[in-house]
């Protein structure tokens, strides 16, 4: 379907989706809220369903409605509160409740996976569903899980949670490591013992040969750095 045809159909689709009680003076208000939520939700998924609930009480018609998200919150699937400024200079403000359903793709296990496995692309596949029904910590992009280790086993078709993933350790506890001290115009290396495990970019404690304990960033296999 061409973009022009979509633009021609969209206002009619929004109007048909309005509650029966809003087909009169409230139609511009509801149509504005529908259009606002539709525009704001495009980055959340590739298919959006919006249901705006009529207010509990009776109010005068909203002139020149200007919808906004209260508190500058980020839009998320589920129950949504939308503020609307009405009238001259938006002096009147109303609040409507809406239900936002967003459908899109998210990664799931392509086979049964064991705890400790490092995830590769073939271990995952994309599933499609209502993103609002996923747990808050669900992983939404395959790339975010690649190279990560599972902290627990996962059955085929199950979605991933951020808490199930950890960066693959490049430094193990009690491992002999090299710590580089870096600064402008100098670099010094010292040996030490890692007191905890860590992946790339994580900071771990290290005991140097003089028994001094410092914190350094993991930069490679058994290699850490302290930047001055």
**Strand-strand pairing, 223-227 and 176-183:** parallel
For residues 7 and 148, the model is more confident at 148
- On whether both 98 and 10 belong to a single domain, the answer is yes
Phi then psi for residue 25, to 5 deg, are -65, -25
Residue 174 three-state SS? coil
Give the pLDDT confidence score for residue 3 in this predicted structure: 32
- On whether both 9 and 97 belong to a single domain, the answer is yes
What number of H helices and E strands is found in the chain?
2, 12
**Average pLDDT of the chain?**
85
Lowest mean pLDDT among 149-153, 155-159, 198-202: 198-202
Residue 75 three-state SS? coil
Burial of 177 (0-12, 13-18, 19+ CB in 10 A): buried
- Taking only the tens place, the pLDDT of each residue in 41-66 is 888 887 889 999 887 777 788 888 99
Residue 88 three-state SS? helix
Specify the number of domains making up the chain. Answer: 3
For the full predicted model, state whether its pTM sits above 0.75.
no
Give the pLDDT confidence score for residue 10 in this predicted structure: 40
Burial of 225 (0-12, 13-18, 19+ CB in 10 A): middle
Structural domain boundaries enclosing 111: 104-167
- On whether both 38 and 97 belong to a single domain, the answer is yes
- On whether both 117 and 199 belong to a single domain, the answer is no
Give me the CATH number covering residue 141: 3.90.1210.10
What are the CA-CA distances from residue 228 to residues 85, 172, 186, 201, 208 (Å)?
A: 52, 25, 10, 16, 17
Is 13's pLDDT higher than 50? Answer: no
Contact 198, 188 (CB under 8 A): no
- On whether both 22 and 89 belong to a single domain, the answer is yes
DSSP class of residue 74 equals P
- On whether both 65 and 26 belong to a single domain, the answer is yes
- On whether both 7 and 98 belong to a single domain, the answer is yes
* Band (72; pLDDT cuts 50, 70, 90): low
d(CA 93, CA 81): 13
Which domain-ending residue is among 121, 147, 167? 167
Q: List residues bridging with 103 in a β-sheet.
A: 47, 130
- On whether both 7 and 75 belong to a single domain, the answer is yes
Give me the CATH number covering residue 189: 2.30.30.760
- On whether both 86 and 108 belong to a single domain, the answer is no
DSSP class of residue 138 equals B
């Amino acid at each position: 379907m061409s973009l022009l045809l979509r633009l021609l159909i969209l206002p009619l689709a929004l109007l048909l989706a309005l509650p029966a009680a809003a087909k009169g003076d409230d139609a511009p208000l509801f149509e504005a809220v529908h259009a606002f939520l539709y525009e704001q939700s495009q980055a959340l998924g590739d298919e959006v369903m919006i249901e705006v609930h009529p207010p509990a009480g009776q109010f005068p018609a909203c002139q020149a409605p200007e919808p906004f998200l209260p508190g500058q919150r980020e839009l998320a699937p589920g129950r949504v509160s939308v503020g609307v400024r009405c009238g001259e200079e938006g002096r009147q403000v109303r609040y409507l409740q809406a239900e936002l359903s967003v459908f899109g793709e998210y990664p799931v296990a392509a086979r049964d996976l064991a705890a400790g496995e490092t995830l590769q692309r073939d271990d995952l596949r994309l599933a499609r569903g209502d993103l609002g029904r996923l747990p808050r910590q669900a992983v939404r992009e395959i790339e975010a899980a690649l190279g990560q280790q599972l902290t627990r086993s996962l059955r085929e078709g199950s979605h991933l949670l951020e808490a199930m993933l950890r960066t693959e350790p490049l430094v193990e506890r009690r491992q002999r490591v090299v710590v580089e001290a870096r600064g402008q115009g100098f670099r010094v290396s010292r040996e030490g013992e890692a007191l905890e495990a860590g992946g790339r970019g994580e900071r771990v404690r290290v005991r140097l040969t003089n028994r001094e304990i410092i914190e350094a960033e993991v930069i490679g296999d058994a290699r850490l750095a302290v930047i001055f």
